[in-house]
Amino acid sequence: MKGCLLSRGFYIETMGCQMNAHDSDFMAQSLIDSGFVPVSSPEQADVILVNTCVVRAKPEQKAYSFLGRASGIKAENPLKFLGIIGCLAQMKGADLLKRFPQLDLIMGPRELSRFPEIVKTIDRPSVKIVATHLDPAPPCHIPGHGCLRKKVTGYVSIMEGCNNFCSYCIVPYVRGRETSRSPKEIMAEAVHLLSHGVKEITLLGQNVNSYLWKGRGGRQRRNFPDLLSELSTLDGLLRLRFVTSHPKDLSDELISCFGGIHNLCPHIHLPFQAGSNRILKLMRRGYTREDYMTLIQKLRAVKPDIAITSDVMVGFPGESDQDFEDTLGLIRYVRFDSLFSFTYSDRRGTAAEQMGDKIDDLTKAARLNTLQNVQKGITLEKNKELEGKPAVILVEGGSKKGHQLSGRTDTYKIVNFIANDRLIGSLVNVKIKRSFLNSLWGEWISSVLPNSQDLRDFGVM
Ligand code: SAH
Ligand code: SF4
Ligand code: F3S
């Protein structure tokens, strides 16, 4: 109790992608290891951190408005520690101090391995720290003792940065060049997670399928399929996933992994961005719509029920009505399980920023609306097809309402159902009863790996 009263609180606001979220988990773990406790608002916290994203204008604005609010909180209590982490910190660096002089820390994503050391200096916030080197060293996110939250699913970052320089994208400028982590480090982190109860691991990177480890003198060469095979043999790993893949690097060898690796989930997130060859070329994506269609055919030949999700953008400079129709055509051809869709946003310093023939906001918004309605129809139809069918769910957690549990199919669809919360962390059979846009409702049938306690709980024994 005494410890609780003396503990200092931290609050992390996370605004970016899964890699950003993973970086926040790493920082939270470092703070917990140093005796801080998580609190639920920046007002209650002694340490306030905002982990930022600049991929579009919207998250960048959100970061500025949060920094304004947090600066106000710190102005009332100067002993608080205020830090900005992530891609906006990398993009603006020390310039941020002009607008937000209350900041104590500005740290880019490639400097994250310094964070545990920085935590030790938090008691002396008069020293401002600016850490924004785009060091090529890979991330080193091996958590210390104990897991942050008792989670069923865990993430392992296998690479950092991106070399692709798609013409619209800021990521290579703020995350630096592509660097793969050693298989040894990746395996060690996976084993650590599994030993703390994690059952499903998602490998993270901006472009995981270009993962390449050469080792000293190229003697320990491993590509992404090699890494998947190695990880899949780990004891206790029920499910293996990865995100994100780039179509231009999706090899036949990787496609065949979906047929050959027993615990690799039948789901791929494969951003296509646009369905018009003219726009794909301007985007510098390195594939055509025909190449993309061929990849989909190959994936479905190996795994007919594989779930395919994607990212797409409307309103890229010069996008005509016909280009947009081509994008809709590709969506109708593939019938994605779900889609993340965005309107193009100018990013400073990118090649697309310099392009003429920008599309006005109203046209962009109308195209996005049309596209989302087309996809909504497809998602609803695909989910409806699952009604009455059995599914295997990895139970991830419970909801506060009654005994409702929640988990995902191997195809990454959320299923809610009623069952005993002792099933959290195990695989169960359910029958899908109803389908919605973003989730399914199921009925518990049995545990896939039954243990006698579960069977007693459900009156089977
Ligand atoms: N590395 C991944 C995703 C990176 S960012 C990939 O290559 O697919 C996530 C998504 O944000 C992208 O897939 C793209 O659809 C979107 N995006 C990136 N830059 C954008 C911009 N300038 N405007 C609008 N959307 C953008
Ligand atoms: Fe951005 Fe393209 Fe790299 Fe993805 S592959 S992070 S869209 S530059
Ligand atoms: Fe955003 Fe940086 Fe991720 S810009 S999408 S948080 S890599």
Give 379-425 pLDDT, tens digit per residue: 999 999 999 999 999 999 986 666 799 999 999 999 999 998 889 99
Q: How far apart are CA 13 and CA 11, in angstroms?
A: 7
Pair (113, 163) in one structural domain: no
Please report which ligand is nearest the Cα atom of 350: 1
Pair (121, 196) in one structural domain: no
Any atom of ligand 3 within 6 Å of the Cβ of 419: no
Pair (276, 363) in one structural domain: yes
Q: How far apart are CA 209 and CA 205, in angstroms?
A: 9
pLDDT in tens, 117-173: 999 888 775 678 898 888 766 666 555 544 455 589 999 999 999 999 999 999 999
Which stretch of DSSP H or E encloses residue 230? helix 224-232
Pair (43, 98) in one structural domain: yes
- Decide if 4 is inside a domain: no
Would you state the pLDDT for residue 140? 60
From residue 341, how far is each of 313, 371, 421 by CA, in Å? Answer: 6, 8, 35
Ligand 3, closest atom to CA 206?
A: 7
347-363 burial, b for 16+ CB within 10 Å, e for fewer?
beebebeeeeebbeeee
Query: Which of 3-12, 203-212, 266-275 has the lowest average pLDDT?
Result: 3-12
405 CA from centroid of ligand 1 (Å): 33
71 — phi, psi (to 5°)? -65, -40
| Residue-by-residue DSSP string for 264-282 | B-SEEE---B-S-HHHHHH
293 — phi, psi (to 5°)? -60, -40
Any atom of ligand 1 within 6 Å of the Cβ of 246: yes
Would you state the pLDDT for residue 454? 46
Amino acid at 405: L
- Number of other residues whose CB lies within 10 A of the CB of residue 76: 8
Q: How far apart are CA 417 and CA 322, in angstroms?
A: 44
Domain that holds residue 51: 9-131
Please report which ligand is nearest the Cα atom of 21: 3
Would you state the pLDDT for residue 452? 44
120 CA from centroid of ligand 1 (Å): 35
Ligand 2, CB cutoff 6 Å, lining residues = 162, 164-166, 169, 171-172, 206-207, 246
Taking CA atoms only, the protein residue closest to ligand 2 atom 5 is 164
Would you state the pLDDT for residue 121? 84
Any atom of ligand 1 within 6 Å of the Cβ of 171: yes
Q: How far apart are CA 371 and CA 353, in angstroms?
A: 24
Pair (40, 123) in one structural domain: yes
Would you state the pLDDT for residue 313? 98
Q: How far apart are CA 458 and CA 447, in angstroms?
A: 10
pLDDT in tens, 356-385: 999 999 999 999 999 999 999 999 999 999
Q: How many domains does the chain have?
A: 4
| Paired tokens of 131 | 């850490």
Pair (172, 237) in one structural domain: yes
Q: Give the SS3 label for residue 399.
A: coil
